[in-house]
Homo-oligomer: A and B are copies of this chain.
């Protein structure tokens, strides 16, 4: 019996055993990997995700974008204002329900999509795994993510 035996609460507190650290650290690496390519489009990684959501469908509310990305208005409002200043999106109050703000794309915002198409392919190669492996990993992560979110919600 020694420190490498792998049982006891001890081993749960070792960094090398942490799934959460693997997730955290990989996420940081993803952002760093995207950064040089996105900088060429004048985007940060979270801004890019917002643009992806809008490229799929224009004129969504802040809430709708927030649900898709699991981000709240505290994060999105300033981010969207920056995208607006950059001339990529539009923000206007919904005339029917004035609580809502509708986010649309400018011509520039739509055009940027073309330039963005090469990025996921390049990053996919940097991941160093096959499309099938990526798909499996993505599915497993989304399951874990949904479980975590469910347990957070349950605690409320």
Task: For A52, list chain B residues within 8 Å (CB).
Answer: 13-15, 18
Interface residues of A in 105-156 (CB under 8 A from B): 113, 116-118, 120-121, 123-129, 133-135, 137-138, 140-145, 147-152, 155
Task: For A147, list chain B residues within 8 Å (CB).
Answer: 126-129
Give the residue name and chain of the B residue nearest to A120 (CB): B12
Would you give the 0/1 interface string for A65-95, flagging 1 where the beta carbon is closer than 8 Å to chain B? 0001111000000000000000000000000
A116 adjacent to B13 (CB under 8 Å): yes
Query: How far is B147's CA from A137's CA once the two chains are assembled, in angstroms?
Result: 15
Give the residue name and chain of the B residue nearest to A139 (CB): B22
Task: For A144, list chain B residues within 8 Å (CB).
Answer: 26, 127-129, 137
Query: How far is B55's CA from A110's CA once the two chains are assembled, in angstroms?
Result: 50
**How distant is A76 from chain B, measured CB to nearest CB, in Å?**
13
B33 adjacent to A148 (CB under 8 Å): yes
Query: How far is B148's CA from A127's CA once the two chains are assembled, in angstroms?
Result: 6
A96 at the B interface (CB under 8 A): no
A interface vs B, CB < 8 Å?
9, 12-15, 17-34, 36, 45, 49, 52-53, 55-56, 68-71, 113, 116-118, 120-121, 123-129, 133-135, 137-138, 140-145, 147-152, 155
